[in-house]
Amino acid sequence: MTKRQPLRLHVPEPSARPGQSTDFSYLRLTPAGAARKPPVDTTPAQTADLADSLVRVLDDSGRAVGPWVPKAEPALLIRGLRAMMKTRIFDARMLIAQRQKKTSFYMQSLGEEAIATGHAMALEPGDMCFPTYRQQGLLLARDDVSMVELICQLMSNARDPLRGRQLPVMYSYKRAGFFSISGNLATQFIQAVGWGMASAIRGDTRIASAWIGDGATAEADFHTALTFAHVYRAPVILNVVNNQWAISTFQAIAGGEATTFAQRGVGCGIASLRVDGNDWLAVLAASRWAAERARGNLGPTLIEWITYRAGAHSTSDDPSRYRPADDWQHFPLGDPIERLKRHLVHIKAWSDAQHDVLHKELEAEVRAAQQEAETHGTLHDGHIPPLASMFEDVYQDMPSHLRHQLAQLEAEHNGH
C-alpha cells in the first residue's frame, strides 16, 4: 500500500502578534494612478483586474494622479477634510465620555474616516445607506442630524430619540438616509439589496448603499445579497470595509488571504473594485462611479475598501492583547486626514495655520454639542426616559394587557 501523508488544515495567522512587527506586504499594494478607470457600463467580468489591484489617487507626496482623479473643487475637498476631522474629534470625546461613565459603550472609526465621509458626498438626498456601527461619518459629513441629538442617544438621556432601545452607537435616521443599525452583522447587505430592488420595482430613482466589515463577509447573508444583487441588477453599492480586523480575528480568517474580498463580487457577476480607503479622493471617485452605475440601471458594484482599524474594536476591547501596538503607525496607506491635508497644501488650497484653526473650531463645536446634550442628562446621572415609555411605540393602539400592566406600573410608582 502507498503510504499517504496525513491530511491537515491550513489556519491563517496574522503576520505579527504583540511585540513583533507586521509585514504588510500581504496587502499587495499598487502605486497611485496605476489602476485603469473603465467606463461605467463595463461588464462585471472586465473588472477582474480591478478587484485584484488597488484604485489610488493620492501619491505619497500629496499629488492626485491617474485616471481616477475626481472632478472636485477645493471647497469640496475642504468639506471632506472637515468631515473627517469632525468625526475623529467626535469619536475622541465620546470615548472619554464612556470612560467617565456618561455613556455605556462606544465604537470609534479612527483611521477609517475617509470611507464614510467621502461616500456620503457621492450620494444624493433620498438614497438609503444600510450602515454598520463604524459609519458615523455618513451622518457627521452632512448636517441633517445635529451632534446634540447623536450625543443624547449615546448618553441614554431624556432626549434619546430611540429611548434606550438601541445600543448607544446604533443610530436610526430615516430622514438622513441612515437605516437603523442592527447588531446582527451582515443583515445590512440583504436589507440594502431588498430596498434597492423595491426602489426599482416602484420605478423610483433612489439607490441603496450596503455596508459590511471584512469579518462579517463570512456570514451567509453576504453571499445571499450578492446573488440577488447580481440576478436582478439591483441599484445598490456593496461596500466591504476591510480594516484588517474583526475584533481579535485577522481578516485572513474571513477569507482574505491570497485573494481579495472584491474578487467575491466578480465571481458573482458583479462589477468590483478594490480601493485605497484612506485616500479621500479615491473614495469619492469610486463611490461616484458606483452610484452612477446604480442610478443608470447598469447594476450593482462591490467596493472593497482597504483601511486599518486604528483604535480598539469598541470600548470593551483591548487590541494590545492580539496585535502589535504600533501597527497603525506602520500601515502603508497612512492616515486619511494627513493625506488629504497634504494634497490640499500641495495645491495651495490649505495651510498648517488654517488646519489648526479648523481643528480648534471643530473641537469647540463638538464640546458645545456635548455640553448642550448633557443638560438633558447622561447615563451617569440617571436622566433616562420615563419608565412608562417602554410601553410606547410598540403598537399603534395599545392592547388591553399592556394597558393593564401600564396601570399597574403607575399604581406601584404612586404607592412609593
CB 179 within 8 A of CB 196: no
Q: 40 contacts which partner out of Mg ion, ligand TPP, none, CB within 5 to 8 A by kind?
A: none
End-to-end distance of the chain based on CA atoms, in angstroms?
Answer: 84
In the region spanning residues 290 to 349, those forming contacts with ligand TPP, defined by CB under 6 A, are 309, 313
Min dist. Cβ of residue 82 to ligand TPP (A): 23
Contact 95, 106 (CB under 8 A): yes
Whose CA is closest to 111, among 328, 324, 323, 304?
328
CB 323 within 8 Å of CB 342: no
Which of 86, 134, 233, 342 is close enough to bind ligand TPP by CB under 6 A? 134
Residue 231 contacts by C-beta under 8 Å, 6 or more apart in sequence? none
**Cβ nearer to Mg ion, comparing 137 with 213:** 213
Give residue 286's Cα distance to chain centre. 15
**CB of 132 vs Mg ion, minimal distance in Å:** 9
Residue 349 gets which letter from DSSP?
S
Contacts (Cβ under 8 Å, ≥6 apart) of 180: 166, 170, 171, 172
Give the nearest distance from C-beta 6 to ligand TPP in angstroms. Answer: 32
Check binding of 247 to ligand TPP (CB under 6 A): yes
Q: Which stretch binds ligand TPP (CB under 6 A): 18-26, 151-159, 213-221, 373-381?
A: 213-221
Residue type for position 32: A
Instruction: Tell me the residue ranges of DSSP E strands in 279-359.
Output: 301-306
Task: Check residue 311 for interaction with Mg ion (CB under 5 A).
Answer: no
Question: Binding ligand TPP by CB under 6 A: which of 216, 237, 253, 284?
Answer: 216
Of the candidate spans 123-131, 168-176, 178-186, 360-368, the one that interacts with ligand TPP by CB under 6 A turns out to be 178-186
Shortest Å distance, C-beta 101 to ligand TPP:
22
Position 190 contacts ligand TPP (CB under 6 A)? no
Confirm or reject binding of residue 243 to ligand TPP (CB under 6 A).
Answer: yes
Contact track, Mg ion, 219-258, x by CB under 5 A:
------------------------x--x------------
Name the nearest CA neighbour of 314 among 98, 113, 162, 166.
98
The set of cell numbers assigned to 172 is: 436610526
User: Is 385 a binder of Mg ion (CB under 5 A)?
Assistant: no
Cβ closest to ligand TPP, residue 218 vs residue 345 = 218
Task: Count other C-beta atoms under 10 Å from residue 49's C-beta.
Answer: 12
Cell readout for 382 is: 440617571
HSE (CB half, 13 Å, CA atoms) of 162? 19
CA 97 to CA 84: how far, in whole Å?
20
Nearest residue (beta carbon) to Mg ion = 213
Nearer to Mg ion, 178 or 308 (CB): 308
Report the interface residues with Mg ion, using CB under 5 A: 213-215, 243, 246
Report the interface residues with ligand TPP, using CB under 6 A: 132, 134, 183-185, 213-216, 219, 241, 243, 245-247, 309, 313
